[in-house]
Amino acid sequence: MSSASIKQGVNTYAEALHPEHAGDVLQEGERWATEEDMSTLRRVADKIPTAAYFVVLTEFCERFTYYGITGPFQNYISNGYQVPNSRPGAIGGGQQMATGLSNFFQFFCYLCPILGAIIADQWLGKYKTILLFSLVYILGNLVLTLTALPVSIRAGGALPGMVIAMITIGLGTGGIKANVSPMVAEQYSRFRPFVRRLKNGKEVLVDRELTIQSIFNWFYWAINVGGLSAIATTELEANVDFWAAYLLPTLMFVFCIVVFWLGRNKYIVSKPTGSIVIKAYRTGRAGLRNYRLAKKENRLVMNESGKKVSWIDYAKPSLAVDSSFMDWDDRFVDELRTAIRSCKIFLCYPIFWLCYGQISNNLISQSGQMNTGSVPNDIMQNIDPLCIIILIPVFDLLIYPGFRRCGLELRPVTRITIGFLVAALAMAYAAIIQHLVYTTGPYYTHPAEGENGFNHISAGLQVPAYILIAIAEIFASVTGLEYAYKQAPESMKSIVMSIFLFTNAGGSILAFCFNSIAVNPHLVENFAIVSGLMGAFTILFFVCFRHYDQRDADEIMDKTMFEKQANEY
């Protein structure tokens, strides 16, 4: 029998053993990794599949639309329409209303992914759910564009139109965001590590973990390229009008739907798995009830290492006294435990999103109090995506591989901790800049009250704050997306991803608590308190979860060795 026939036989057997690993097929110049390979060869990421690029392009278009419409929000809500010697505006509600509505919109956009995840996991699947909620999204864009016409603004239709649009777009965003992130990673279907021989004759270990990390890096890169749309829309706001600023993203979203539909025959589409949420609730309730009963009757179970098993393990039919009502198996309980454990790591993220949210409201207001020259004040926030676009390729192609070549692996908890720390530094820097604004004339602690409305200090001093926030995002936000996908069981990926996204809504809730000091002359305290909170939670996060990195690495190695032995068998 030829070596090609033997290899094909091994591949067929592997697929039968693990149907979910049907993409694990060796190609020319490849072989399965041995234990020695795992410890000696250089680890590299695999190529990103073509189907993943369609999903990435879809996300680019959606984020182009999202950031394109939110870029002008602060001025649109805060300032009056066509007021002489004032920045562009429409509603005239003031800074507090603008910050409050922006926080509400962000909160609602990141609350709705839970609904999108439930619909996808239980009924429609990710592909159909994204298409359905895209129609809802574009309806909200049309409402926003039409109510931003001059005739509507003069008739008082801008505020109710904005509220309706925020709710509608929020629903659309939720349905898309919960599913597009796991869907892009699902397009890479190779699970087991393998060795590839390069053109120069050297062998490298192709690692799924690094491939997923790379996919999410470029996925986040596309998000931030789309985020540059705010440059165009803020210029349209200043030089044409708000209806033109909102029309451009609306047209882009039509293109978004077309792009996503064109890739329909290339996607790996996971089928809905049924009532996961209800099943998880019933499983958790059974685990708690059985655990309390076992504790009361002094019959707690120990694992192989002599430690008490988790409370959720008591939901396993194999440990239950009465399992007649259980429509799940032990494996589902193990998956649920993994999902619960992975969600713990998200508990500190609301503080991070509180820091990040400053770039879309209070930092815009800060630049409005500074000399921006002929540049609109709300264009400054685009420094953040510009930095990310430049830095992500540097991190993915140079920094992360450089650490690995030195034998230093920046695993998820380490990266997230660094991101949190940098976010705290960004807010501390913003507080220093705000202090300089208040100590510079001619308006000092009450800028935006004179004819020109700003103190004589350059908005260029804000740039380091945006650079620090961009670095924090690469370490914390990208890693959070990656961790949510990799740690979630196959049947719960959309739900776990939606829980991670919900932490962004938690940041918006916290931002509401800061509304009373998100005005002059209290913005120094606002930035300083946010910085202090982020610093404290960085320490708390590292203390609580520092052991996760080693544990996750051990679990990956154990799983790899188990599958290797199964394949050899």
Instruction: Give 106-160 pLDDT, tens digit per residue.
Output: 889 988 998 998 888 888 889 999 999 999 999 999 999 999 999 999 999 999 9
Copy the structure tokens of residue 470.
């961009």
pLDDT of residue 9: 42
Identify which of 245, 205, 133, 285 has the alpha carbon closest to the alpha carbon of residue 560.
Answer: 205
* Max Cα distance, the chain (Å): 87
Q: Delimit the domains of the chain by residue range.
A: 44-268+337-568, 280-327
- Nearest one of 552, 524, 322, 327 to 428, comparing CA atoms: 524
**For the purposes of burial, counting CB atoms within 10 Å of the CB of 367, is it exposed (0-12), middle (13-18) or buried (19 or more)?**
buried
**What does the mean pLDDT of the chain come to?**
86
Q: For residue range 503-551, list pLDDT tens digits in order.
A: 988 888 888 888 788 888 999 999 999 999 999 999 999 999 988 877 7
Residue 59 is inside which H or E element, if any?
helix 50-70
pLDDT reported for residue 564: 53
Statement: residue 12 has pLDDT above 60 = no
Structure tokens at 145: 């564009």
Give dist(CA 193, CA 90) in Å, integer.
56
pLDDT surpasses 70 at 219: yes
The stretch 228-237 carries a mean pLDDT of 89
With 50 as the cut, is the pLDDT of residue 18 above it? no
**Distance of alpha carbon 465 from alpha carbon 363, whole angstroms:** 9
Share of the chain above pLDDT 90, in %: 41
Digit-coded pLDDT (tens) for 35-49: 888 888 988 999 999
Q: Where are the beta strands (DSSP E) in 33-187?
A: 43-44
Short-list 376, 498, 545, CA closest to 114: 498
How many helices and strands, by DSSP H and E, does the chain display? 24, 4
C-alpha to C-alpha distance for 461 and 455, rounded to whole angstroms: 13
Non-local CB neighbours of 112 within 8 Å, separated by 6+ positions: 170, 171, 173, 174, 175
Distance CA 290, CA 313 (A): 9
Decide if pLDDT at 19 tops 50.
no
Helices 412-438 and 463-472 meet at what angle, rounded to 10? 160
Comparing C-alpha atoms, which of 420, 434, 282, 309 is closest to residue 366?
434
Residue whose C-alpha is closest to residue 285's, from 308, 318, 328, 314? 314
Sheet holding 194-197, edge to edge: 30-32, 194-197, 203-206, 43-44
Range of lowest pLDDT (70-84, 166-180, 430-444, 529-543): 70-84
Neighbouring residues of 527: CB distance < 8 A, sequence distance ≥ 6: 358, 362, 427, 428, 430, 431, 434
Judge whether residue 192 has pLDDT over 50: yes
Phi, psi at 304, each rounded to 5° = -65, -30
- List, in order, residues 6 or more apart from 140 with CB less than 8 Å away: 164, 165, 166, 167, 168, 169, 170, 171, 172
Residues 415-436 pLDDT 10s: 999 999 999 999 999 999 999 9
Look at 85-89, 108-112, 162-166 and tell me which has the smallest mean pLDDT.
85-89
Express each pLDDT in 311-326 by its tens digit.
888 888 888 777 777 8
User: Is residue 437 over pLDDT 90?
Assistant: yes
Quote the pTM value. 0.81
Report which listed range, 70-74, 86-90, 287-291, 474-478, is most confident.
474-478
How far, in Å, CA of 525 to CA of 355, rounded? 14
Amino acid at the residue 164: I
Q: How far apart, in whole angstroms, are the C-alpha atoms of residue 15 and residue 249?
A: 44
User: Would you state the pLDDT for residue 1?
Assistant: 42
Q: Which residues contact 456 (CB under 8 A, 6 or more apart)?
A: 371, 440, 441, 442
Residues in the chain: 569
Tokens standing for residue 18? 């693990």
Query: What is the pLDDT averaged over residues 222-236?
Result: 89
Q: Can you tell me the distance from the alpha carbon of 475 to that of 563, in angstroms, rounded to the nearest whole number?
A: 31
The fold for domain 44-268+337-568 equals: Growth Hormone; Chain: A; (1.20.1250)
For 406, the token pair is 């030195």
